[in-house]
């Protein structure tokens, strides 16, 4: 159903009646006028390309660059011997801009060239001669963990990139006292965020050594930190300017650091701007998908369905380099424990190096991968106990006021109502016996503070321009999720001005406040609060300047400046007054939002986020038992994301996130052949088409959160979390057998049915 036809849906106003502005990017994108990274052109620009390893693991014996250097149009050929051997990384320092002595996966960067056009750059790559000595390689975590396995990084013995053992409560006692113990193993492949625009950048280094990188990033300031560190440049000399971002889905928090570093190095060597862009095939083969995971989980329950304990053994596949994989592994291994009241937990998680594409992060940070396993197992338990899958969830779900097993403090939570509403929307009490039904619940941190305990918040500036308009400055990023619209609406709400009077500057690190960027569902929650405070500060400053100008107290009400006698002053007049009086200053409101300090111990027990969003999804599917083919008929997606300030954009997030969740659950997944990515085109790495996405019934249960600005909580990530669990349970209900390996495909259902596996 078209959303504007939905009963009671109003795209123009939110539930408090405020008018909603969609933000400056929306119309540019709709009109095809937005400029993306791929459109960038600078005068004198060169084109950079990367020579990549054809071997999954090999020693580099020699690189001969003479022939490439001599080609016409070639301006620079870089190998590891031309640059400093300084390792960098996001969590662990395990990468170099170019491989020095060893390549560790098919695609590892060996050399970079810059030439006057793409053809010349390609010819230069062909003219490079590299002598390799192939080494034995490991492709599966199990093989990499085995005694005597080849060591991928000398500094990480046993190929272990990261590991964690965690115990809360007394799981041994809980398992001993349980009436029922269920267990199963699940496997989830690597997935790519598959943003529409492959990553592109232009790096430009000038003579005094200022480096400007033009590229669209979710967290440009964090990337500036890493680039400055890796290139040993002063932080203030690195500037990132963003074109419009063609999707990110978590994959562009750090984007592709190799690409930024190599284009910067090439620009430093040539003194000219250097453009680099990934092809779609490169995106799949080297473009940092999310980790693959194997989960073995066990649950203890009382006969009435009360959850007593969960034990998980998790192995995640890191690929050749680490990026954010340790953090993703951590979220994957613990976030689902807080969806329900589970007092006893034991988790062993291990992230393992293999000779495959390095991994990174993706929307929901592995939370959705673990949801598939945890929610599947809950249905197994419910069936063994003869309990309704909805009821067992209602009986155990987390509620407002709870402190969860990992110490998360839940200040607002409508999960119970979300479950009830999702069930109602799918027709849970009146289920069609020819279909299967599944329900699942999720939590996601909104404004997570674990990335930097000291820098928890955000800041923003609001400037009254001489023409009476307001310009906002924030370092937060919009890549389609509606941040800019939300910021405009928040500031417009505070000043009670028409949203059309606002302009927004977010994409140039030279002029915007330092920011953590678009990660951890913090944009509207934390960045929005800073904008709100900046707008309030500006309002105060305007009133002060206006009072001074009028010589009597002036108040700003309903967007108008009024003195006691009722006379009205123009905003522009006040701006000009202040500008003249100070010889050039502008009225600038500053907002700094610092969330309360977080306390978590060395086991990360504690309240790690400003607040938490919740969701429950229910799915209806039909299975053709003869072939295993299935049709997802409907998904009901019910959310507690606090107050919804932009209903149209919020719905857009739900539709897109559920569609992507459908892809994650039933279509996508990397396929490898001895370390080589086989699914490397959009024809073979299948994301769902419009025809594959079911009808989505979307609903928000608005709570008022004490933390976020105007009571809002994040939505962009949590929306994908419950999809795999709901679909897995619906398929199991329809087919009578359970698929434990994503993606759920017709062939896997058919095999499970033919084997008569009744692990349901």
Q: Give residues in contact with other proteins (CB under 8 A).
A: 626-627, 629, 667, 671, 673, 678-679, 683-684, 686, 688-692, 745-747, 750-751
Nearer to other proteins, 338 or 679 (CB): 679
Shortest distance, position 28 Cβ to other proteins, whole Å: 24
Nearer to other proteins, 82 or 281 (CB): 281
End-to-end CA distance of the chain: 34
Strand 458-464 with 102-103, pairing? unpaired
Whether a cis peptide bond, with omega within 30° of 0, leads into 556 is no
Burial class (CB in 10 A: 0-12, 13-18, 19+), 11: middle
Nearer to other proteins, 114 or 278 (CB): 278
Nearer to other proteins, 91 or 746 (CB): 746
Shortest distance, position 171 Cβ to other proteins, whole Å: 39
Nearer to other proteins, 484 or 667 (CB): 667
DSSP single-letter state for residue 34: -
> Which residues, 6+ apart, have CB-to-CB distance to 296 below 8 Å?
183, 184, 185, 186, 312, 313, 314
Nearer to other proteins, 443 or 739 (CB): 739
Shortest distance, position 684 Cβ to other proteins, whole Å: 5
Query: What is the side-by-side strand order in the sheet with 58-64?
Result: 102-103, 58-64, 129-134
Shortest distance, position 686 Cβ to other proteins, whole Å: 5
Q: Which of 81, 76, 126 is nearest to 101 (CA)?
A: 81
Shortest distance, position 689 Cβ to other proteins, whole Å: 4
Nearer to other proteins, 454 or 626 (CB): 626
Residue 73 tokens, joined? 């149009």
Nearer to other proteins, 594 or 682 (CB): 682
Shortest distance, position 760 Cβ to other proteins, whole Å: 21
Shortest distance, position 251 Cβ to other proteins, whole Å: 22
Shortest distance, position 656 Cβ to other proteins, whole Å: 18
Shortest distance, position 683 Cβ to other proteins, whole Å: 7
Shortest distance, position 678 Cβ to other proteins, whole Å: 6
Element spanning 460, H or E:
strand 458-464
Q: What's the rounded Cα separation, in Å, for the pair 142 and 145?
A: 5
> Which residues, 6+ apart, have CB-to-CB distance to 279 below 8 Å?
198
Three-state SS annotation for 431-458: CCCCCEEEEEEEEEEEEECCCCCCCCCE
CA quadruple 727, 730, 734, 739: dihedral, nearest 10: 50
Shortest distance, position 673 Cβ to other proteins, whole Å: 7
Shortest distance, position 212 Cβ to other proteins, whole Å: 32
Nearer to other proteins, 1 or 671 (CB): 671
Nearer to other proteins, 568 or 683 (CB): 683
Shortest distance, position 691 Cβ to other proteins, whole Å: 4
Q: What are the CA-CA distances from residue 467 to residues 489, 493, 511, 534, 555 (Å)?
A: 20, 20, 20, 19, 20
Residue 690 tokens, joined? 């419009």
Nearer to other proteins, 376 or 745 (CB): 745
Nearer to other proteins, 564 or 631 (CB): 631
Per-state percent for the chain, helix, strand, coil, to nearest 5? 30, 25, 40
> Which residues, 6+ apart, have CB-to-CB distance to 312 below 8 Å?
295, 296, 297, 298, 333, 346, 347, 348, 349
Residue 369 tokens, joined? 């991968």
Element spanning 383, H or E:
helix 367-385
Q: Which phi and psi (to 5°) does residue 505 adopt?
A: -120, 115
The partner residues of 203 in beta bridges, in order of sequence, read 213, 274
Cβ proximity of 306 and 395 under 8 Å: yes
Nearer to other proteins, 263 or 745 (CB): 745
Task: Count CB-CB contacts under 10 A for residue 547.
Answer: 17
């Amino acid at each position: 159903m078209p959303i504007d036809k939905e009963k009671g849906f109003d795209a123009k106003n939110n539930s408090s009646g405020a008018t909603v502005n969609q933000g400056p990017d929306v119309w540019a994108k709709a009109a095809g006028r937005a400029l993306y990274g791929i459109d960038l052109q600078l005068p004198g620009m060169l084109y950079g390309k990367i020579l990549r390893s054809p071997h999954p693991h090999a020693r580099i014996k020699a690189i001969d660059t003479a022939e490439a250097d001599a080609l016409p149009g070639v301006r620079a050929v870089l190998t590891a011997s031309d640059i400093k051997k300084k390792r960098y990384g996001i969590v662990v320092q395990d990468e170099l801009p170019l491989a020095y002595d060893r390549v560790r996966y098919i695609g590892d960067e060996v050399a970079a060239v810059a030439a006057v056009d793409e053809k010349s750059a390609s010819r230069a790559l062909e003219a490079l001669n590299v002598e390799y000595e192939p080494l034995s390689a490991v492709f599966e975590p199990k093989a990499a963990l085995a005694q005597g396995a080849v060591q991928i990084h000398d500094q990480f013995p046993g190929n272990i990139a990261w590991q964690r053992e965690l115990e809360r409560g007394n799981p041994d006692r809980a398992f001993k006292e349980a009436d029922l113990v269920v267990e199963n193993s699940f496997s989830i492949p690597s997935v790519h965020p598959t943003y529409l625009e492959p990553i592109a950048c232009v790096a430009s280094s000038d003579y005094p050594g200022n480096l400007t990188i033009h590229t669209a990033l979710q967290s440009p300031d964090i990337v500036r930190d890493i680039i400055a560190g890796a290139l040993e440049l002063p932080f203030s000399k690195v500037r990132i300017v963003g074109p419009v971002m063609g999707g990110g889905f978590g994959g562009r928090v750090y984007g592709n650091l190799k690409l930024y570093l190599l284009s910067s190095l090439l620009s430093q060597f040539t003194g000219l701007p250097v453009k680099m862009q990934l092809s779609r095939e490169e995106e799949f083969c080297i473009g940092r998908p999310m980790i693959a995971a194997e989960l073995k989980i066990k649950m203890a329950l009382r006969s009435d369905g009360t959850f007593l304990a969960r034990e998980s053994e998790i192995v995640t596949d890191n690929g050749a380099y680490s990026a954010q994989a340790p953090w993703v592994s951590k979220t994957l291994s613990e976030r689902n424990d807080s969806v329900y009241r589970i007092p006893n937990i034991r988790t062993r998680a291990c992230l393992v190096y293999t000779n495959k594409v390095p991994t990174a992060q993706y929307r929901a940070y592995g939370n959705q991968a673990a949801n598939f396993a945890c929610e599947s197992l809950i249905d197994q338990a419910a069936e063994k106990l003869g309990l309704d899958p909805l009821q067992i969830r209602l009986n155990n779900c987390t509620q407002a006021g709870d402190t969860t097993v990992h110490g998360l403090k839940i200040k607002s939570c409508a999960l119970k109502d979300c479950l009830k509403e999702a069930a109602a929307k799918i027709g849970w009490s009146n289920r069609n016996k020819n279909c299967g039904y599944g329900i699942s619940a999720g939590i996601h941190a909104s404004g997570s503070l674990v990335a930097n305990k000291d820098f928890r918040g955000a800041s923003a500036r609001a400037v009254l321009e001489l023409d009476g308009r307001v310009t906002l400055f924030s370092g937060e990023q919009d890549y389609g999720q509606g941040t800019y619209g939300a910021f405009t609406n928040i500031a417009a709400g505070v000043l009670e001005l028409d949203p059309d009077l606002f302009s927004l500057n977010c994409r140039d690190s030279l002029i915007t406040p330092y920011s953590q960027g678009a990660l951890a569902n913090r944009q509207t929650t934390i960045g929005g609060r800073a904008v709100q405070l900046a707008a309030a500060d500006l309002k105060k400053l305007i009133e002060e300047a206006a009072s001074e100008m009028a010589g009597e107290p002036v108040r700003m009400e309903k967007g108008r400046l009024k003195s006691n006698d009722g006379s009205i002053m123009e905003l522009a007049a006040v701006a000009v007054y202040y500008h003249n009086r100070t010889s050039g200053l502008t009225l600038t409101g500053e907002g700094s939002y610092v969330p309360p300090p977080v306390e978590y111990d060395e086991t990360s027990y504690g309240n790690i986020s400003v607040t938490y969003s919740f969701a429950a999804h229910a799915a209806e599917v039909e299975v053709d038992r003869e072939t295993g083919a299935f049709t997802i008929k409907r998904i009901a997606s019910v959310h507690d994301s606090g107050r919804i300030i932009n209903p149209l954009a919020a719905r857009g997030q739900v539709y897109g996130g559920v569609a992507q969740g459908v892809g994650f659950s039933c279509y996508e997944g990397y396929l490898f052949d001895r370390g080589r990515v086989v699914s490397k085109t959009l024809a073979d790495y299948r994301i769902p088409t419009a025809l594959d996405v079911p009808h989505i019934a979307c609903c928000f249960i608005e709570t008022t959160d004490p933390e976020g600005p105007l009571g809002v909580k994040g939505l962009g990530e949590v929306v994908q979390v419950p999809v795999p669990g709901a679909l897995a349970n619906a398929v199991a209900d329809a087919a009578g057998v359970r698929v434990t390996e994503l993606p759920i495909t017709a062939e896997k259902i058919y095999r499970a049915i033919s084997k008569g596996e009744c692990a349901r």
